[in-house]
Structure 1
């Protein structure tokens, strides 16, 4: 019998110190007081470092209409003033949850820099035109996979899935039309949180939220940022 079934696996001693070169994250030293601009600065630095295989990999958390949560890694495909965009099968679990409960959160974690960014917001469907445009830019194999996959549904075997894929490839020797059940979602941020890890566990956390006035949140005065955002330090 496996030892795992007899007792919990103790991981309490698993910890690594963060880089001694790691700076602290101070409000007075933020590169921007607009969270989207600050995210862009961080993300550009992450991309240029060349040490992270998929800088745009992000954990997407959703919940169903009853509040039951689920999370998975996806690839961010665009971000800007309108929000953060991903593409998926509308009939998949995440697609259905974002339709039924249009609230979601994103979590980026870049361990090389001891940084993470959390984003919470409402979900909006991307226009059909934008979804078609992105679908056409995908590799042919990815287009075919999107067409044949009833994402999140069970199937007898991988061989069965490959057979369906091969049939679809023969059916569409040239252009592959975007399926009606596939497209994009945009998470429109309402809250950002920037985190920088510290070895002593006094991690730095700066939260941004929409506000055009100084106010108290949990008894602490917030600071006005830029473009209608305010920010506040959170305890680790």
Structure 2
């Protein structure tokens, strides 16, 4: 992949920081030549790793969207699953963590979404960040997380979110109204200070999470005076031995291969 194209997908529109700016610290300029060369090598290796790991690019784009376009709820994705009849089904899903292992999201295990994933684990996510003229499509297979992982995530949510999951949004809204008034907040604060701590909300037995293990990342962006569409696609090639590089396939130290294309209206 050309350095120009890589810098375009890694750059953060309107941001002073970018993953593409993996340069030695300023104080390295005064370091001995040997140290400087070593730091340059480490920076180059880190930049090469960025090229090879598409989740790093996705995480960079997600951070940029959260900073520059929070109104579009950047973590909200259109998820596509397949029903028993083989027909695609879509709905909006909010993702949680983005790690080298994959992308996690949570849902009610007895829902239609969970049933379709259990029957056919092939899942696709589509993120559309229109203000930044960027979109990302991620597809792969989803597997259910353990109960311990689900409980850990449940405890991370604010109390009103836990109540909404456990008892429903109406109950959570009523509880929030009871706590949101001025005197109610004072009474609640005094109770927490001198009384017993609030009871722990139990996680519902039918609530859990999934880990989406990606096999494809597709980054799309509009740029240029004619709004040319650029798409960069990373595909996981498990059949290819790690480290293999052929004339027709671009692959370095990882099992991701990539290609790109540009379209003009």
**TM-score exceeds 0.5:** yes
The answer to whether structure 1 residue 204 and structure 2 residue 230 are counterparts is yes
- CA shift, 1:61, in A, is 1.0
Q: Is contact 1:46–1:52 with CA below 8 Å preserved after alignment?
A: no
For the residue of structure 2 that corresponds to 1:224, the secondary structure is: coil
- CA shift, 1:98, in A, is 0.9
Q: Is contact 1:103–1:122 with CA below 8 Å preserved after alignment?
A: yes
TM-score w.r.t. structure 1 length? 0.71
- Distance change in 2, residues 1:101/1:178 (3 Å): same
**What residue is the counterpart of 2:156 in the other structure?**
137
For the residue of structure 2 that corresponds to 1:203, the secondary structure is: strand
Equivalent position to 1:92, from 111, 135, 148: 111
Structure number with higher relative contact order (C-alpha < 8 Å, ≥ 6 residues apart): 1
Question: For 1:26-105, what aligned pairs fall within 5 Å after superposition?
Answer: 26=5, 30-31=9-10, 32-33=50-51, 34-49=53-68, 51-105=70-124
More helix by share: 2
TM-score w.r.t. structure 2 length? 0.64
- Cα distance in structure 1, aligned partners of 2:70 and 2:150: 30
- CA shift, 1:39, in A, is 1.0
- CA shift, 1:79, in A, is 1.0
Q: Is contact 1:52–1:110 with CA below 8 Å preserved after alignment?
A: no
For the residue of structure 2 that corresponds to 1:118, the secondary structure is: strand
- Distance change in 2, residues 1:191/1:164 (3 Å): closer
When Rg is computed on C-alpha atoms for both structures, the one with the higher figure is 2
Gaps of 5+ in 2: 11-49, 175-197
- Distance change in 2, residues 1:28/1:105 (3 Å): same
**What residue is the counterpart of 1:227 in the other structure?**
254
Cα RMSD (Å): 2.8
Q: Is contact 1:208–1:232 with CA below 8 Å preserved after alignment?
A: yes
